[in-house]
Structure 1
Amino acid sequence: MASTDRPDGGELRAPVRQQETVAELGRRALETDDLEAFVEAAASAVTDVLEADCCTLFEARGDELVLREGVGVADDLVGSATVPADRDSQVGYALLTTEPVVVGDLEADSRFLSDRLAGRDVTSGITVVVGPTENPWGVFGIYTTDRRSFADHDVTFVRNVGNVLSSAIENERVKRRLHEERTLNERIVETSPIGITIVGRDGELQFANDRAEEIFGRERAWINELSFDDPDWDEIGVDGEPLEREDLPFPRIIESGEPLYDQVSGVLRPDGERVWISVNGAPLRDERGEIEGVVFAIEDVTERKEIERELHKSERKFRQLAENLEQVVWMSTPEKDEMLYVNPAYEEVWDRSREQLYENPDAFLEAIHPDDRDRVRASLDGQKGGEYDEEYRVVRPDGTVRWVRDRATPVYEDGAVDRIVGIANDVTERKRRERTLEESEQRYRTLLEHFPNGAVALFDESLEYTIAGGELLDELGIESEEIIGESVDERYPEELVSRIEPKFRGALAGEEHSVEIEYYDRDLLVYTLPVRNSSGNIFAGMLMAQDVTERKEARRKLEELVDELEASNEQLEQFAYAVSHDLQEPLRMVSSYLTLLERRYTDELDDDAREFIGFAVDGADRMQAMIDGLLEYSRIDTRGDPFEPVELDAVLEEVLADLEVRIEESNADVTVESLPRVYGDRSQLRQAFQNLIANAIEYSGERPPRVAVTAERADEGESETWRVSVEDDGIGIEPENADRIFEVFNRLHSQDEHPGTGIGLTLCRRIVDRHGGEIDVESEPGEGSTFTVSLPAVPPNTDHE
């Protein structure tokens, strides 16, 4: 315990100074933000006031105490020196008791085993617990190296300083905990997957987290500049209409003072995109309970809205489809104890209201014919997630009976059956046709079984064969029983089904079709046609198949013969070219010698001889021209240039330049409109148009020739063509001669009237034929002629170079 033995010089002053120090430390403890500096200052102050040699503050950490602060101890010991948290040391002893521990002579005190403290030899000291006794933070103490007796006020002073330290440490703990909580809250807010905003009482935005920035597509500073009702938000409701100010979340919460949950609206982002948000909000109240703002939790539900929109769209489409179907569409729970949906067709077939079915799902069963009801009920009960397919009779309230084919399938959700969807067809007419067919089949059976070189079959509206027969089945080794009951898509390969199914359905619609197919390595010609009863109504379709393998083989041989003829024609053309080429040399010799004879013996020849020689030379020249024309004709296909884009404007300029002398001599007026680009052989096209314009000038009659060249675009099938016309006002031709003028060496006028070889228009036709086009003429005598040539347009993606 403390002793009062102390020099009396400072007995009166010491308690006052100690109280002042405690008060000063208490004031600083309330103001400090630096605990370490404060602890150091407190230790220094106590050391100074008590004139001690050292002062320590130990922090309890499990089974030991660590030196946190020390005055009068080596610096390297602070933070590292430890003592056991037991009764062996004064520090440990103090931690385990609630009273200050005062030691006059540490070495002589039997309570402790150790007489050293943090590397120093000390003799006397006071130690007190810092913090609540049930959970102390540590131990604070002062020590002297000389033996000293401490007064009661000294002990009180140290304990009071320990209490001040305890308060400062606890304040620091609270501040740290609040800071950590605040930091955690800020991190939670900033990293929240939900946008968080705060709007002040004045309606101005005060805070927005990162997620809010992402949702609104705006930086935080920009968001904070906007009020809740700023036009930039362009906020609309789920109906797409702009929200009135009083319907916005903020005024609703301010007005009601109550939280708001899941108000969905759409706001406009700066990039023009509309984002849909779900807003939850609550009022923020001050200490008086007054609303000072509103906090909002905002979730981006654009994807959800899109899913809902697609779902509504799908539901709308389903209802639009189902409501207009003639088939009965129904949907029930897996247990079939609740009808979820049935379309209006139910009322047409069952002649009962849908409301009755919604109230009693078994109502449709009650309407089923008694002979069929148990079978249908057992089938429904035994479905258990599988398919359901039944035909039964429905007895309507007026006693009439309708046949129904009812099929259903389960719809799964997360691996479990969620609902059953079914469709019921009124097959009364089909049943009637089946009965009619059964009654009519016998009439066709003899034909089917003995149909020569082919096969015949009847099929119903499901495209299922009902009877079949014929010699072709026997030849192919097919039993009629194999076919009967099979549908088209079950019987034939998919590729073949895609070709013949439309023909089968066409027969049931009253159409007749034929198609050639390959089946069982045979070529078959298949006819499909409707079969009518005595009332003229179609009750089935008929298939008639004939084996045309031999016919196709004959046609193939004919095509080979045609190919051979074409090859022969090509050889003939080559022969004509060779003959024409070989005739040129002797013809030149004849012409040359006649000319030589005329020059050398001109004085000896009389007028008749010179006339005869002139006739012979003229004939040789005309023969040469005909041979040249024949050579050109034979070279059209063999020596033509590859096709390329051709500017007809440029071609016609060259043609008119070549004919410039004839045009001037005949005082001809040749006009050429803007002409297109075509795809062809430039040199051959130039030759063809030169022949046509030269003919127009030649056959102009007594008047100066007037020739016009025009063009127009024409679509012919899948390809595009240009029709180029050469029109004149000449003598014209008889319509019956329109084809003759294109025949080789065929002339309508004598050489005296109009000289020529008779091959020019033949060359034109051959050139146009090579281009895949046509040439024709429209003319009347005295009215002129119009020659029209069709030429291919330049194909797309053609290299124009």
Structure 2
Amino acid sequence: MKFRTKTVLGVAVIEAVLLTILVLSTLGIMQRTAEQELLHRAETTGKLLAAASRDALLAWDFATLDSIAQEATSSGRLRYVRFMEKDGRVLAQYGDATAGPTGFSADDGLKTVDDGVLDQQAEILVAGVPYGRVQFGLDIDSVTAATAYMRGWAFGISAVEMVLVALFSLLLGLYLTRQLASLRDASQRLAQGDMTYRIPVKGSDELAETARAFNTMADRLQSFYGDLAEREARFRQYSEVNSDWYWETDRDERYVFISDSFESITGRSPATLLGKRRWDLGSTEMEVDAELWQGHLEDLSAHRAFRDFKYWIEADNGRPCWLKESGVPRFDDEGHFIGYRGTGADITAAMESAHRMHMLTRAVEQSPVSVVITDLDRRIQYVNPKFLDATGYGAQEVIGQMPSILKSGRTDDTVYQDLWATLERGEQWRGEFVNRRKDGSLYWEQATIQPIRNLEGRITNYLGIKLDITDRKRAEDKLGHLLDELKRSNQDLEQFAYVASHDLKQPLRQISSFATLLERRLGDQASDEVRDYLGFLNDGAKRMQALVGDLLDYSRVSHRPLHNDSVAMDEVLSAALVLLNAAMADGAAVIERQPLPNVQGDRSQLERLLQNLVGNALKYRDPARTPIIRIGCDDGVFFVADNGIGIAADQADRVFMIFQRLHSAQAYEGTGIGLAICRKIVERHGGRIWLSSAGDGQGTTFFFTLPGPAAHHVVDSGAGLGQAGAQQQA
């Protein structure tokens, strides 16, 4: 049943009950009033009739009595009048008397009237002595009609009032239910999460005030739920990025709940921990800190909160997994302990980092080099034991001091200026110092000093790593003296070779010339044996002259200053081939050439290089086939390839050594210096030379690199000069 129906029915029932009570009470009052008035009139009428008939009764004047009775009933208010003696005999009577004198019974009120006539009687007294009585009946039809009329009006008014009240109740119910429906709908929409809905407010009555209060409450709820949603979202985000998981234990410290994030963090299923206690999870290989566990068990026994308790378990993959847990005790409503709840975190990375830090610390402590850390004011904050051992100072003597306590005055000030200028730029500095130990002795240090930056990239400290190089310096000094001696010795040897080869030319020419003159002087007189000896002498002199000439060439290559020019290798090759025309024609050689790039170097020496390599290919050609020689450059690597007799792999390095020959002089002429000269030229130009051959009869390819514009170091015109060469130039 709707509230509106309940309201209408309730008001109608209440109104009906109240109106019924009111109408019945009013009708009762009206009836009692009418009855009292009627009884009072009856009493008055009886007294008037008694007074009027007293004299006629004493005189036995029956005619007067009849006249009084007739006159009394003439108005219609009295239905009958009867005069009687005191013994009951009727003296006069007029009107409609339904009851005789013997059956007469006076009515006490209207309730006893059943015939529409109020029967009453009055004593006729003379000096207080009754002489008779008068009986009469009052017509109560008017009273009854008036009462019925009033009852009809009362019920009619009541009906109209009830209809009006019911209509008002209906309208009021509609208004109330409409407002309540608005409140209900608004409450439902708020309950469904629509925090923006508000009740339209009209008027200024209590319901409007209620609607305004509801809207105010909705505003506060919207603000509250907005804050709550924001906090929930923030908490959810924190939970999503948090590395922790959540757990609960029972009163026996056995895990009864572990959140799902445990597995994604540790790699171990939470189910493997349920029903177990913390100390049941360790492996037999676990090193237990008895004191730490004892303190933890005491906290658990006392039901105290604990924080950051660390222990480790084995993950499902067998790797150690360090855990850190914090928890608070749980109690039921009656204060009984029921277990713990808390959070856990995987600190394996942190523990491994701590272990690495420990190893790093131990490595620094045990390092064979000195380690120094200063603040930005250059005051020492840390030194390792090697530093103390190298300097002779104690830790307390150097902490807080500046590194300048080691200055010996032997290191140039520009070194320190460069050091601090480099560090202020945030760069690493490398250099050497001559420092002084506590005992006053000097020592050399090779130092690497660099800034230390924090996570924000700011420089907070300086780190110095120093190596005692005193012994190395002494060895370098000794080696330097030896190298100087060796250089002087090599220069003397080179000078001797140059001078000797230069000075040997004249005697060799004389020997060759005199052998020729002697052969001509003897003419036919010389025996065959003498002629053979003279031929041997002449050939030996010529070979010696060739050897001395090549030796001079080798010395010139080593000593002559390089010209650092841009050289067109195509032109250089063409010039070299012109010098080899005779050899190429003799062997009917085929030359296949590719475009060659420009390089930086000495044109004459590069021409000699190509002449020697192509000449070498022509000399060691295979007599069974036409010699084909290819010259080109691929990615900065020059090559000269032939199809000649080839070179064994184990002889590849030997061919570049001076005076090294792989074949006899009778088979192939030469002195064994040509490829050595090639190697010297290439090396002086900052490059290298090598060969590749598949073996005998497979041909040989010589490769060499030269400093080029794109990727090579340019050799300066004086960079390749040795002291002997400089002296020779002088």
TM-score, length basis structure 1: 0.38
**TM-score (norm. length: structure 2):** 0.41
